[in-house]
A and B are shown apart, each in its own frame.
Chain A
């Protein structure tokens, strides 16, 4: 997983609350066998609407999603995170996230930063008045900067450490590879093996 310390990219104001994972990625896309290439599936139902924010040229290449409260509710599908990442998003900012979505994001290296709703509103205004404005998400400083808005961002210590170190779950476990090898060395010989 790539280390995340600070990211600057075009901010996308998504003025909706309660965006559930079915809206992030509809169920029909779950039949796929790949883990990448979900960019077309992101917000699929809304993308048909020309006025949808991602269809506007200034926002098309956005990488920081600034959303309403309760982002990522509903089903636990990890595909929602894959779709956001594949599209190019590095961070999602909201005043509140659904737990499972936040957990899944952390595992995949997508930053979910919690901001006060009043700060979200301020950033929305900046982005809407000057489409294409960049947002800096500074994980090290736990701060978001956009235009003249400087807002504190909440990320728990553990997630912050993992993202800054670039460690996914497997990466974390791999730090204990010696303990795993020791354990394996002491496994009894009567345990079964699938290959002969």
Chain B
């Protein structure tokens, strides 16, 4: 019987397999950031261990970094301590670090692909659940805990039990105005926030094949919101073109060898998945969330659901609680929900293509008076690229704040936060209670919806702008 893509990558990394024990899996690339690494490095120090492969390890500062006044000392003591600790640790253990202000600094999941370090067929780990992003390249990429970070630092391996596999078939072509973000929000709404538990999801089908690398990363990024450890997409010409010429792309003979290998990285025709789900892309519309988990989403054209109409007891209870927290009434058209803040950024939608898409919608317009608009590029390079294309000016003319790179309001570990009771349309990945600031209310949206919302002040799609203009 044939193998799935995930199984192929797994099998190629088994260092040791023994009856009744987890497989010992080799890790090709270890990404590190300031929040989940300090105790791991200290553990090494206490045990007198070294980093086995500094040459397969790279660190960046992202979660705590400010997005304004980046040349000034960080005011928050905890944030500053975490960053200073990372700097000391990287220096002591010989790990490459891109600190705040460096040309390669940025969100860890934006930096890896951008440098060409993320490649098909690799195993990639990071002490961060959204490591699933890198699966867009056909890598097996997943988040790990701090003890595991220490384990990888010390041994470059992890003892793991195999995951199950699930195919997510997205058939048909996406309609105009519908994006990767809408696909993944629809997938999560369909299978639920626990639906992917124990699985690696492989996204397949016509709609997926036609997506750019940026869009594929958006989809794989949110696999974790469906409970899955990882998401993957088989590499193809789009993948190869994206990687070629990047700083860490293979060169010359290595490129040929790599390409030959990468082309074998697809699920065999006779392979069997443990589960399959199919979504019809032709029916998708812009999707937004109304609740406090990423599975509580609906097409923008619908209304806030009525919990009483939900058959499942726990679903109803969750919806009731969510509506109370979100301060929403059942039956309110989603389009009428007014927001205070629009956040465009994060490892889900903070790449250059996302900024281009948002800029195209708002170009030549002014933001709604009542709305604060924060544009936070995913990396220093994304910011520079956007500036070279004049996008920064488009955002500034629109009335948006053009910020420096980092996680920013995705989780509000730095000063970019919602005030209690404030409501946002956010291109990030989590709408949990208090995620963007204590008492803050989050609606997850695509960059297109974020842009249109910032024009109208209520949840909107670009199509709504055309109708209101005529």
Residues on A facing B (Cβ under 8 Å):
1, 31, 33-36, 78, 104, 107, 168-170, 172-174, 176-177, 179-180, 183-184, 187-195
Contact = CB atoms under 8 A, between A and B. Distances in A.
A170 B96 contact: no
Interface string B14-32: 0110000000101011000
B55 A193 contact: yes
B273 interface: no
A183 B248 contact: no
Contacts of A194: 29, 54-58, 96, 117, 248
Contacts of A191: 28, 119, 122
Given A33-B81, A189-B254, A194-B117, A170 B49 contact: yes
A191 B206 CA distance: 29
Contacts of B248: 192-194
A180 B82 CA distance: 32
B147 A107 contact: yes
A192 B120 CA distance: 11
A193 B56 contact: yes
B82 A195 contact: no
Interface stretch (B38-46, B65-73, B397-405, B429-437): B38-46
Interface string B95-123: 01000000000000000000011010010
27 contacts: A33-B39, A33-B42, A33-B85, A34-B42, A169-B151, A172-B159, A173-B151, A173-B154, A174-B154, A180-B26, A183-B26, A184-B26, A189-B254, A190-B255, A190-B257, A191-B28, A191-B119, A191-B122, A192-B29, A192-B116, A192-B117, A192-B248, A192-B250, A193-B55, A193-B56, A194-B58, A194-B96
A188 B260 CA distance: 12
B202 interface: no
Contacts of A192: 28-29, 116-117, 119, 122, 248, 250
Contacts of A176: 15-16, 24
A34 B250 contact: no
A170 B49 CA distance: 10
B49 A35 contact: no
B384 interface: no
A21 B448 CA distance: 43
Nearest to B83: A33
Given A34-B38, A169-B159, 13 more contacts: A34-B39, A35-B46, A172-B159, A174-B154, A174-B155, A176-B15, A180-B155, A183-B15, A188-B257, A189-B257, A190-B250, A190-B255, A192-B250
Contact of A179 (B15, B82, B119, B254): B15
Contacts of A179: 15-16, 24
Contacts of A35: 38-39, 42-43, 46
Contacts of A31: 78
Interface in B251-288: 254-255, 257-258, 261
A45 B116 CA distance: 49
A173 B146 contact: no
Nearest to B77: A31
Contacts of A187: 26, 28
Given A34-B42, A35-B39, A193-B55, A170 B258 contact: no
A169 B78 contact: no
A180 B116 contact: no
Nearest to A107: B147
Nearest to B84: A33
Interface in B357-407: none
Interface in B223-261: 248, 250, 254-255, 257-258, 261
B258 A190 contact: yes
Given A194-B56, A194-B96, A33 B38 contact: yes
In this complex, the member of A35, A107, A168, A174 whose beta carbon has the largest number of chain B beta carbons within 10 angstroms is A35
A190 B250 CA distance: 6
B467 to A, nearest CB: 48
Contacts of A189: 254, 257
Contacts of B49: 170
A36 B46 CA distance: 9
A170 B47 contact: yes
B156 interface: yes
Given A179-B16, A180-B157, A190-B250, A195 B96 contact: yes
In this complex, the member of A34, A104, A177 whose beta carbon has the largest number of chain B beta carbons within 10 angstroms is A34
A180 B254 contact: no
Which 3 residue pairs spanning A and B have beta carbons closest together?
A33-B38, A190-B258, A190-B254
A173 B24 contact: yes
A183 B157 CA distance: 11
B250 to A, nearest CB: 4
A34 B154 CA distance: 18
